[in-house]
Amino acid sequence: GAVPYHWGRFRGLAQEMKKPLLEEHLLNNIYFDTCVYHQPGINLLTEVIPTKNILFASEMIGAVRGIDPQTGHYYDDTKRYIEATQNLTAEEKHAVYEGNARRVFTRLDAALKAKCL
């Protein structure tokens, strides 16, 4: 959602409340998906939020089903936006598409197994 747009505000509020830096505590537990539906939004997301906190998401019959008249492409063709951004290297794109999800799932799986034992 709107978090990348308000990142500066959240950083300032955390500082005023004497909290650790957001990068040190918030980003260990929050992830952002790529269902943004327009190139400027993906560009901002990939500029503001560390790549390790971005998970690829796409929708079939999602919230926005139509074709963008400005581009001629479906709004929810999120892979197209990731491919077009200049903010990510090939390695970072791989992390967004697959690597991050595998890392997060492995971490969650380990935490669940630890609680069940």
The Cα 78–Cα 98 span in angstroms is 14
Among the listed residues 24, 59, 83, 91, the single catalytic one is 59
Residue 98 structure tokens:
């697959």
Are 39 and 88 in contact by the 8 Å Cβ rule? The answer is no
The Cα 52–Cα 29 span in angstroms is 11
Nearest to 42 by CA among 90, 12, 72, 78: 78
Whole-structure pTM value = 0.80
Arithmetic mean of pLDDT, 71-81:
91
Q: Say whether 16 is catalytic.
A: no
The Cα 42–Cα 78 span in angstroms is 9
- Enumerate the domain spans of the chain: 1-30, 31-116
Of 31-40, 49-58, 64-73, 88-97, the range with the highest mean pLDDT is 88-97
Tell me which H or E stretch contains 32: strand 32-33
